[in-house]
Every structure is written in structure tokens, then in C-alpha cells.
Amino acid sequence: MNVISGHLVCPVCSLALTQQGRSLSCQQNHCYDQAKQGYWNLLLVQRKRSKDPGDNPQMVAARTHFLDQHCYQPLADKVCTEVRQALTDKPNARLLDMGCGEGYYTAQVEKTLSGMQVEMIGLDISKHAIKAACRRSQSIHWLVASGAQMPVPEQSQDLLLVMFSRLMPAAFAKVVKPAGLLLLAWPAQDHLLELRQSIYEEIKVSEYDPTAELAALFSCEKVDTLRFEFSLKSAEDIQALLDMTPHSQRISAETTAKLLAAVPLNLTFHVNLGFFRRL
């Protein structure tokens, strides 16, 4: 059994959780049972903003299909290389992937760290995403939980991985060790530009940079930019890309049909990867 005692805290009272079989409990007798798929649900009802928060089953299935075509593999490779380098010579390191989704990047990082003593947690607010993540690995600790109140001890993580998720500086700083690393990915201005040009009459140019928002809690060591072209070779792949993004809510049936017929669809990948050290 993949034991997680000592790595989690109770989302109600913040006391340490201890595992007994397929249950977690704290000294206040708050108890949480492990789901049959292997994950732990530590998302309190009062912290849900909707009945079923996060990605729905359609979005999870779409993201799983799209990512499994490995169009974003260069990013995964880059993340894996940087994580391994950052955690080398750190025995018993702890890594948390916040907003891990269906676990595509988390599982590849785990394989890269094979042979190293690293305790890994994948956390997402979507129960559907975490169920899918369980199919990628049974040795990662998968949690349904809020990224704003992560149920891990304060200053416990050597590395926090955040791939395209909401920026929450205070929540990130609370769980990262002093001098620990935040590895953050966000879209650069030309990411999926061709797709956006097909959907919108006017394209908003994004100059987003999280460095200023993080500056009081993290120092920016560097920002690497990955840019390359890739091609979607089937209508199924194009539909999956649409379904995994907010664009699917804003696109007409006519435009969808045109995009699905535009095979192959050539697109630009343009993403920033920032390295931030906890002050």
C-alpha cells in the first residue's frame, strides 16, 4: 500500500493525518476514506464553489486524448529535466503538482525521478481529473483538494509544480520550504495563435508575467521560453483541443466545422517556464 502518513494535514483542523489501512484520520477524529481508484478526497463541501468543481468528464477525456498525442512533449521533457536537476542531492524530497489535472506531466516527472527518494503528490479540485490520474500511476499520492488551501504541512515541499493553473502566491508560499522551488508554466502571447485567429475577430495580445505578483514571496531565477510548431492530423485531435480549452464555449458550430475540416491544422506552441525561489 502507498502509505502517506505524515505528508498530509486535516482540511478541517490542520492537524496531521495518519493512515490506517484505507483511512486517514487526525487526533480530532476527522476521517477520510480512500476511494477505490486510490485517491483521497480532502475537498470540504464548504470550499466548493459549485456542486462539481473543476474540469468536467468531457474536458478531462479531451485533455487526456490530446496530451497522449504528445504534441506538448518538448514541454514535458523540459519540466522533467529541470525537476530532476533541482532535486538531485535532496534525499527524501517532497514534490507537489498543484492543479495536476489528469496527471500527464506528474506521471512523466515520476518516471524521470525513478530511483530517487521523492515523495510525490498530485492535487486537483476536479474529482474526474484525479480519477483519470489514478490510471497513470498508483504510486503518486493523488488528492482531490483545493489549491487555495492545500492539505499539506506548512513549508513542507521542496518543489511545487504549477502547470497552467491559477496563480495563488500566498497559498504557494505557505507550502514551499524556505529556498524551495516553484516551477510555473503559463502561455506566452503566441500560444495557439492560429486557433485563436480562427475563433475571434480580434486577438488580445497577452503580456502576462507573474513575476511582479510573486515578488514579495519568491525571487525569479529565470524564465525560459519554449516555442515550436506542431500539427494536428485528425479531426478528433482538433476537437479534443477545443474541448479542453475555454474556447469551446465561445465558438460557433460553423467555425468548429471549418476547423475540424482543416486537417492538418498547424499551430504554434509558445509557453513560458518560470523558476521562482522561495524567500
13 annotated as ligand-binding? yes
Residues making up the chain, counted from first to last: 279
| Cis peptide leading into residue 264 (ω within 30°) | yes
What string of H, E and C letters represents the secondary structure of the chain? Answer: CCCCCCCCECCCCCCECEEECCEEECCCCCEEEECCCCCEECCCHHHCCCCCCCCCHHHHHHHHHHHCCCCCHHHHHHHHHHHHHHHCCCCCEEEEEECCCCCHHHHHHHHHCCCCCEEEEEEECCHHHHHHHHCCCCCCEEEECCCCCCCCCCCCEEEEEEECCCCCHHHHHHHEEEEEEEEEEEECCCCCHHHHHHHCCCCCCCCCCCHHHHCCCEEEEEEEEEEEEEEECCHHHHHHHHHCCHHHHCCCHHHHHHHHHCCCEEEEEEEEEEEEEEC
191 annotated as ligand-binding? yes
10 annotated as ligand-binding? yes
- The three cell numbers locating residue 128: 474526474
102 annotated as ligand-binding? yes
103 annotated as ligand-binding? yes
Dihedral of CA atoms 34, 35, 40, 44 in degrees, nearest 10, equals -110
The annotation places the binding site at 10, 13, 26, 30, 72, 102-103, 191
The annotation places the binding site for S-adenosyl-L-methionine at 72, 102-103, 191
The annotation places the binding site for Zn(2+) at 10, 13, 26, 30
